[in-house]
Amino acid sequence: MQLAGKIAVITGAASGIGRASALLFAREGAVVALADINASAGQHVADEIIQSGGRAFFEPADVTRAADCKRLVERAIREFGRIDTLFNNAGIIRRATVLDLAEVDWDRMMAVNVKSIYLLSREAIPHMQRAGGGAIINMASGWGLAGGAKAAVYCASKGAVVLLTKAMALDHGPQNIRVNCICPGDTDTAMLREEARQLGEDDSRFLAESAKRPLGRVGTPEEIAQAALYLASDASSFVTGTALVVDGGGLAGSR
């Protein structure tokens, strides 16, 4: 029970890494506040936790909207009293070069992947300060540390997450708020298959190409959730400003 008594807010919780993290955090003793734009799937995750004996609620939210972020945090404080962990997991992908990318896609990607972290952290940090500290986990990517083909805006957004994380760690370490990010490699989620569709590639072939890394496979949402658990728990009490790579060795040979 590494998170016994902790209160966690998780965005993008309806599927993939967010869902796996919500279920894992609850099993480890956390009370969880879940948010996603997919209301039915998000509520299903909350129901799973409650039926297993945990405590949770789901709040439909578009994390690019300041009012939605404020409502989510206020509900967590109202129902649970404080926030110990904020996991800014919500994210989307658009595979394209700058020549092929529509302006609306650029704006949406930067809003979901970067602006949402600013909006939610702005709401949560004052409550963490009053409570004496907390942990913020931001979802970055291996492509926040190294570039990728036909992924200009995705790389730009995740690179921004990495440096935003480091800047926040500097600003809020004195208040005992740790800020870290996770940089996953290709992970077996609906988003990975969405990449294949955007590139016009067959799912099985795309996943086979994605598995070309030292461990010879893509990751699972549950494996990335374990990294989030570490960063949320007291096991990482001296870790802040870190970009934790969880990618089966995909970046091991990068310079």
Ordered strands of the 243-246 beta sheet: 56-60, 31-36, 7-11, 85-88, 134-139, 177-184, 243-246
pLDDT score at 204 = 86
pLDDT score at 203 = 84
Whether 154 is catalytic: yes
255 pLDDT tier (thresholds 50, 70, 90): low
Largest alpha-carbon pair distance within the chain? 51
From 90, 89, 169, 183, select the one nearest 134 (Cα to Cα): 169
Which amino acid appears at position 96 of this protein?
A
From 164, 40, 169, select the one nearest 114 (Cα to Cα): 164
Of the candidate CATH numbers 3.40.50.1820, 3.40.50.300, 3.40.50.720, 3.40.50.620, the domain formed by 7-184+220-238 belongs to 3.40.50.720
**CA–centroid distance for 170 within its chain:** 20
Residues 6+ apart with CB under 8 A from 233: 2, 3, 28
Domain residue extents for the chain: 7-184+220-238, 187-218
45 pLDDT tier (thresholds 50, 70, 90): very high
Its pTM stands at 0.96
| Contact between residue 164 and residue 140 where contact means Cβ atoms under 8 Å apart | no
3-class secondary structure, 85: strand
In this predicted model, what pLDDT tens digit does every residue of 172-210 receive, in sequence order?
999 999 999 999 999 999 888 888 899 998 888 888 989
Q: Are β-strands 85-88 and 56-60 bridged in parallel, bridged antiparallel, or unpaired?
A: unpaired
Q: Which of 25, 57, 80, 154 is catalytic?
A: 154
| Contact between residue 87 and residue 9 where contact means Cβ atoms under 8 Å apart | yes
